[in-house]
Structure formats: structure tokens, C-alpha cells
Structure 1
Amino acid sequence: MKTAIISDIHGNKDALIAVLLDIKNRNIHSIYNLGDSIYGPLFPIETYEILVKSNIQNVRGNCDRILLEQNFDNPTVQYVQDLLKDEHKTWLSNLPFSLETKEFYFCHGTPTSDEMYLMEEMSATGPILKKTEDISSMVNGISQNIIFCAHTHVPRVVYLPNNKIVINPGSVGLPAYEDSFPIYHKMESGSPFANYTIVTKQDDDWIVEQIHVPYNRDAAILQSEKNGRIDWAIALKTGRI
């Protein structure tokens, strides 16, 4: 009756190992991953190997898609691309945009885009929660009442008047980042822990648990610094930019 939802691992194998151990210790066997699995200056191949050996259903994130694009001018993208072999590229190319079950709908960003935020909009002062009607309109065509999205790296739950619940599990591997799309903004979870979500059906209701798992971050921080990503090192240390 319990389902675990993970996302935005970003090549952080140690965070993923800690989260999967926590899930195993809770005797949960159903796991869904919302994408952005191996992009980052960390351990992409090791993370891939953990995922393919685990019983996890994966969807595609925008960073999964970017890794298959050519001439993408970004040193971290190049770092990962240089490590990819045909089997890794095949796995990435076969990831579905979304997944559906009777109860759940899973996507990375929104039901129509892997790089837009479903619950947040950007302002000059940073991200703010969208109006209820705006979120509702973006999931209007989804038949399931429980909708999972990711991409922001910040855990959030929004209840809609039509009994739909939109849930973001946060990020397993990168608790904060900055981006220039659609305007410059920072997304910060505020803690260095690995985040994921558990949902449990109880009668006609759903219990949503946002889990925060501590883990040894030393190797990930060192690897970030080695690859020139001090911003990642700070995010991994503090959960902030």
C-alpha cells in the first residue's frame, strides 16, 4: 500500500544509496523516479548502474534529454557525455516522458513540458506558488487524482479543489541550484539532506510523507570541487546557493 517517489538524483550515488536503503528499511517495494538521474559533475555511471539494478520505474527529465543533444555548450554536460557509452545512451533515449497507473500520474516538469515548473512561477523576488486555478488548468486533462512532478528540487504538496493532489518529492541528490530560465532564480530546499516522498492509501484518503535522509556528502562535495562546480559543493553542504 506504500509507494516511494524519488527524483533529481543528478549523479549523486551516495544520496541515492542512502535513500534506497531507507526505502528498503520501510519495506517499500514500489518506487518511481521522476528523472534528471545522471546529469551533474558527480558520479553519473555509478548512479546509472544502481538504477538499472533496482526495481524502479523511471521517467525522463529535461537533463536526461539534454545529455543526448549535440553541441550543448556546457562543461558539465560535456563531462557526462564523455562518460556515456551506447548502453547509457540507449537507456536515456528509452525513458518515457511520463508514466501512469490507476491512481498516479508521474512527470518531471508538467504534463506538457519537462523544463517548466508545475507549481511555481518566477518573479523578480524569486519563486512563488502559482494560483490554484493556474495549477488546476495545467493538470486538467489528467484523470488521476494523485499527480507527481519534480524539477524544482524543493518538496511541496498542493491540494486542489477538485480533490487532486500535486506532489513534488524534492531532490535526492542536489538540494539547491540557480537557473536563468525563464528568468534568473534560485531554488533552495534549505537543508543538505536527500529528499523523497512516500504516499500511503488509507481508506479513501492519502497520507503524504516528505522524507529527509542524511548521508555522507564528502565524496560528492569533493567531486564537485574537482570538476569546477563550487556552486554544487555549496549546495551539497548547505542546501542553499
Structure 2
Amino acid sequence: MRTAIISDIHGNIDALQAVLLDIKNRGIQNIYNLGDSLYGPLFPIETYKLLVKENIQNIRGNCDRILLDPNSNNPTVQYVQNLLEEEHKEWISNLPFSLQTEDFYFCHGTPTNDESYLLEEMSSNGSTLKKTEDILKLVNGISQNIIFCAHTHIPRVVYLPNNKIVINPGSVGLPAYEDTLPIYHKMESGSPYANYTIVTKRKDNWMIEQILIPYSREAAIIQSEKNGRSDWVKALQTGRI
């Protein structure tokens, strides 16, 4: 049994379609989405329709949550909010914070906070991998051996001394971004491709595949330009900010 994990679509319908087609062509039926699905200056409603059409288990990311904030003055949040109807808002509000199976634990940020990075820490020198003991503290109490997180948009696999594995599938729809919290930093995958992960259990071992999928980015770039997001244009074009 193989499982596909996607995340951080950010309204990029063309990237999502390319990833789901690749998953289908591989004969994979189990798909989990780690959140941040609709936020972005792109195509949130089209993305929503495809997600509910497919057999995908979805959780909520921080950027899903903020779409329900009526007091937000973020122009991109307001762009998406103006497109949302009650059906879409209800879907977002019903998304769980996390999901668990016998083998897997799924969250967006950390098991307790959808805005915190599980594997990376920020400093004036940029993004670095957290110390092993700090990661262990964050996943303390998680019984599953395979833990999936997202939020950074950077694919990563970290093995822990307690035999647990933490996996970030990267971003389907936005390969780079910048943020001001906890300090100003950039997260850059370095590739404009759509990212996702496949895990397969073979006897007692887990095979982990980090997949990069090319897709037509023209519509997303034009829409980003239309909405005044030059940072998204460069990210979609290059995987950098």
C-alpha cells in the first residue's frame, strides 16, 4: 500500500491537477493533504472543487484558518474571502487540525501549533535544521513512527534516534515565500516544480520518495500579476524570492 502526501497548494489549481494526475498514474489511492489549500492570489474556488471531488483526507493549515478571520486587512486574504461562499467557509471550518492512522501522524506545523516550524529554526543566518532534542520535544507523545508536517514549503526528511521519521512533502503550489515572523526570512525550494511525497512500506522499512512535477505555470503567473503579487510571480517562475 502506497500513500501520497500533498500540502500547501495555495490555490494553484494547475499544480494540483498535475500532481493528482501523477498520483493517479502511479495507481495510488490514499492521499492526505496537510493544509494551506485555498489561500493565495490564484484560483481558490477551482482548487476547492477539485479537492472535494477527489478522495483526499484534508487537514487545516494556518492559511486556511485565517481565511475565516473577518477582521483581516491582508489584501490576498480579502481577495479569497470575496470569492468564498458559505459552502466553502463551512468546508474550511470543518477541517481537522490533525489526523492520525495506525502508522502516520499528520499536522501542518507542529502537533500543537499550525504557525510553527517543526524541523527548521530561523536566525539572522536564515533557515537551519533544529537540534534533534528540540524536534524530539515537539513530537513527544506521538505514537506513530511516521510524522508528516508542512508549512515551510521545503521538502525534507529527518530521522530521529527513537526510530521515528519526520517528513515534509514541500509545496504543491508555491515553491518559495518570505515571512516576517519570528524574524524576517525566506523559504526557497530552488525549483518551480510542484512537490509531493510518496511513502511505501516494504517489510519493516519505509521507502520515501520526494517527487517533483513540472506543470504549466502561465495561468498562475498571469493571475499573480493581475493581483499585484510580484513575489508570487518570481516564486512560481524560479522557486526563489
Same fold (TM over 0.5): yes
> What's the offset of the Cα at 1:55?
0.2
Partner deviation per Cα, 1:57-78 (whole Å, 9 max, x = no partner): 0000000000001111110000
Asked if residue 44 in structure 1 is aligned to residue 40 in structure 2, the reply is no
Give the alignment of 1:1-241 within 5 angstroms.
1-241=1-241
Which secondary structure does the structure 2 equivalent of 1:52 belong to? Answer: helix
In 2, Cα distance between equivalents of 1:19 and 1:202:
24
Per-residue CA deviation, residues 112-132 of structure 1 (Å, 9 max, x unaligned), is 000000000001011100001
Return 5+ residue gaps in structure 2 as ranges. Answer: none
Give distance in 2, aligned partners of 1:182 and 1:136.
21
Structure 1: which 5+ runs fail to align?
none
Q: Which amino acid aligns with 2:38?
A: I
Cα distance per residue 1:54-110 (max 9 Å; x no partner)? 000000000000000111111000000000000000000000000000000000000
DSSP-derived class of the 2:192 partner: coil
- Shift in Å at residue 170 of structure 1? 0.1
SS in 1 for 2:178: strand
Dislocated runs of 4+, deviation >3 Å: none
| TM superposition score normalised by structure 2 | 1.00
Find the residue that maps to 2:222 and give its secondary structure. helix
Sequence identity percentage:
79
SS at 1:174's partner residue? coil
Normalising by structure 1, what TM-score? 1.00
One-letter identity of the residue aligned with 2:205: D
What is the number of equivalent residue pairs in this alignment? 241
Partner Cα distance (1:185, 1:73) in 2: 22
Aligned counterparts of 2:146 and 2:215: Cα–Cα separation in 1: 29
Task: Write the distance in 2 (CA, Å) between the matches of 1:113 and 1:127.
Answer: 19
Instruction: Give the C-alpha shift of residue 177 in structure 1.
Output: 0.1
- Partners of 1:97 and 1:12 lie apart in 2 by 22
